[in-house]
Structure 1
Amino acid sequence: MSKETKKLINDIENEEISVTQALRRSLPISKQHQDRSFTEWLNKELNGYDDWRDIPEYRTVTGELVAFSQYHQADIPLDAPYIDNILKELKMPHSTMLIEELVEKNKRFIVMKHPGFSDKEFVDKNFHTEGYLDFRLKFNSNQAVQILGFITNKLLNKLNSLPLISDPIEEKKETFIKKNKDAIMITIVTGTVIGFLLLMPVVSDAANYVEEMTVKLWNRISNIIP
């Protein structure tokens, strides 16, 4: 798992970024892994679903069917026996950013246009005498919050399951160290010895002291660099 992925997971778990920000930061990761299905899902969540048939089940909300009554000049709940319960369910096609905005602006209820009433024949047959317009579904905003939570959990599960991809920069660094182990050790030891010589007073046993410290330093570096 790359450093970017670990940082992203940490930011998501600590709720330091929004769902939309998490999805956006996941896009380059999905492309790095060449995971087309992951990339496609990210784009749909970020941009919204154009086709109602593509909207996943976890985006389903249930609520109260309402319509604007020309007679009453107000939204009227529609609870007639001929209204199928299926019309009281909808799948939210919106982008995650729009869902987040709806949740922020509507603390209790969200009202969205109902595509099930695009059938003019159905509307004319059942509602023409009442003068109903603008059919919508009114539902508790907590359902939108739950949708965002589901998306977040699904994203976290996906990020945690990604296979390990080696970092080319880290690989080059490790290769360089292995190939130049002796040169690196000599450089470090030489610099340290020079430092000792500059700091130490000129005494008779200075050479022995330097030799002893050089051996100790060499052994320590040998244990650090494989």
Structure 2
Amino acid sequence: MSSIVIDLQDEILSSDCDIVQILRRAHVIAVKLGLKEFDQWISYELNGYPDQNVCPDYRKIRGTLKAFNPYHGWIPAVIADGELETIICEKKISNSISEIITLCKNPESRLVYEFPGEQVEHLDRLFGSPLPMRYALHISVASVMDIIEKVKNTVLEWTLKLEEEGVLGEGMRFSDKEKQNAKALPQTVNNYYGATNVINAPIEGMQIVSGNEHVTFSYDQARADISKIEAAISQEQLQSEDKDAALEMLMEIRDKIAQEKKPGVIKALFVGLKEFLMNAGSSLAAGLIQASIQGLF
């Protein structure tokens, strides 16, 4: 007779794996074994988490903070303080796994997390905005796809632990000994999904590169790139107010380079300028900034 645990492993490893169906089968196993804590996690994944405090760490992602400009739409809102930027831009996604899957099926989709009123007031003060603004985190599909893989890995590792303890299930039934052995296993989810890194929301056209390679930042190269970008902006066919705003943003980057601020701060400003130029219709200058980002960081 077949084993429900082994059958679930086979389903997870199949090329057309259906993560929602996998979680439902895992729910059946957890209930039959009396694993209430692990089954609570399964329920949260299927139905969504009640709040961010309950979300596991693997659901934490990093978005791009933007403010809504009535003339240009969503534009980057750059925070120079790295620690403050992390606090504001890192959020846990509490949506159900089926909602996340639906989002990932459309590569053009983006999650938009708008900040509530009280937080908007703080952001207005932070940016010195004379009028109330709308602020939101823009989160790309690529940054949430890892959540699906973490869920698959969690269920797979859990079934492997069950198998190791001789908990296989005969058909749809488990013996009393199997139930006892299963309850001896840790039920906390972070025992199964492994190490987690915060996934950054990539800028359009950029690839996510993971790893620990150390890149030495060159302030001299950054200064040279600034001069090329300034010349390119001057040649772009942009509206005068957009060109002036871009040059002001470039001046701020030049100042940060002169002060030799942290590379992360300079990169954030480069990215903000690039997105502003793309929204304004720039091509040459935005491309140069993209090349600088890839070469410097």
Gaps of 5+ in 1: 172-226
8 A contact 1:109–1:138 mirrored in 2: no
- For 1:22, the equivalent position in structure 2 comes to 22
| Residues 72-94 of structure 1 deviation map (CA, whole Å, 9 limit, x = unaligned) | 25011110436822212111111
The amino acid that maps onto 1:152 is: K
- For 1:77, the equivalent position in structure 2 comes to 76
The separation in 2 between residues aligned to 1:120 and 1:142, in whole angstroms, is 27
Written as runs of structure 1 = structure 2, the 5 A alignment for 1:170-189 is: none
The separation in 1 between residues aligned to 2:137 and 2:28, in whole angstroms, is 36
- For 2:220, the equivalent position in structure 1 comes to none
What's the RMSD between the two structures over aligned residues?
A: 2.9
The amino acid that maps onto 1:26 is: A
| Residues 128-170 of structure 1 deviation map (CA, whole Å, 9 limit, x = unaligned) | 425421x222233222111110111011011221242654999
The separation in 2 between residues aligned to 1:85 and 1:169, in whole angstroms, is 50
- For 1:159, the equivalent position in structure 2 comes to 159
The separation in 1 between residues aligned to 2:118 and 2:47, in whole angstroms, is 23
The separation in 2 between residues aligned to 1:125 and 1:30, in whole angstroms, is 49
- For 2:68, the equivalent position in structure 1 comes to 68
- For 1:55, the equivalent position in structure 2 comes to 55
- For 2:143, the equivalent position in structure 1 comes to 143
- For 1:96, the equivalent position in structure 2 comes to 97
- For 1:186, the equivalent position in structure 2 comes to none
Q: State the TM-score, normalized to the length of structure 1.
A: 0.64
| Residues 179-220 of structure 1 deviation map (CA, whole Å, 9 limit, x = unaligned) | xxxxxxxxxxxxxxxxxxxxxxxxxxxxxxxxxxxxxxxxxx
In structure 2, relative to structure 1, the CA distance for the partners of 1:29 and 1:118 (3 Å cut) is farther
The amino acid that maps onto 2:73 is: A
The amino acid that maps onto 1:9 is: Q
Q: Give the CA deviation at 1:99.
A: 0.6
In structure 2, relative to structure 1, the CA distance for the partners of 1:169 and 1:156 (3 Å cut) is closer
8 A contact 1:109–1:139 mirrored in 2: no
The amino acid that maps onto 1:156 is: L
The amino acid that maps onto 1:79 is: V
The separation in 1 between residues aligned to 2:10 and 2:89, in whole angstroms, is 38
What SS is found at the alignment partner of 2:49? coil
Instruction: Name which of structure 1's ranges 18-27 and 107-116 shifts more when overlaid on structure 2.
Output: 107-116
8 A contact 1:2–1:165 mirrored in 2: no
Instruction: Name which of structure 1's ranges 110-119 and 31-40 shifts more when overlaid on structure 2.
Output: 110-119
8 A contact 1:110–1:141 mirrored in 2: yes
| Residues 30-87 of structure 1 deviation map (CA, whole Å, 9 limit, x = unaligned) | 00111111101101111111121111111111131112223x2501111043682221
What SS is found at the alignment partner of 2:111? strand
The separation in 1 between residues aligned to 2:56 and 2:44, in whole angstroms, is 10
Q: State the TM-score, normalized to the length of structure 2.
A: 0.50
The separation in 2 between residues aligned to 1:77 and 1:169, in whole angstroms, is 53
Identity of matched residues, %? 23
In structure 2, relative to structure 1, the CA distance for the partners of 1:91 and 1:118 (3 Å cut) is farther
What SS is found at the alignment partner of 2:91? strand
Instruction: Name which of structure 1's ranges 78-87 and 7-16 shifts more when overlaid on structure 2.
Output: 78-87
In structure 2, relative to structure 1, the CA distance for the partners of 1:40 and 1:2 (3 Å cut) is farther
What SS is found at the alignment partner of 2:16? coil
Q: Give 1 or 2 for the bigger CA radius of gyration.
A: 1
Give the paired residue count: 168
8 A contact 1:108–1:142 mirrored in 2: no
The separation in 1 between residues aligned to 2:173 and 2:132, in whole angstroms, is 69
- For 1:181, the equivalent position in structure 2 comes to none
The separation in 2 between residues aligned to 1:170 and 1:23, in whole angstroms, is 18
The amino acid that maps onto 1:161 is: K
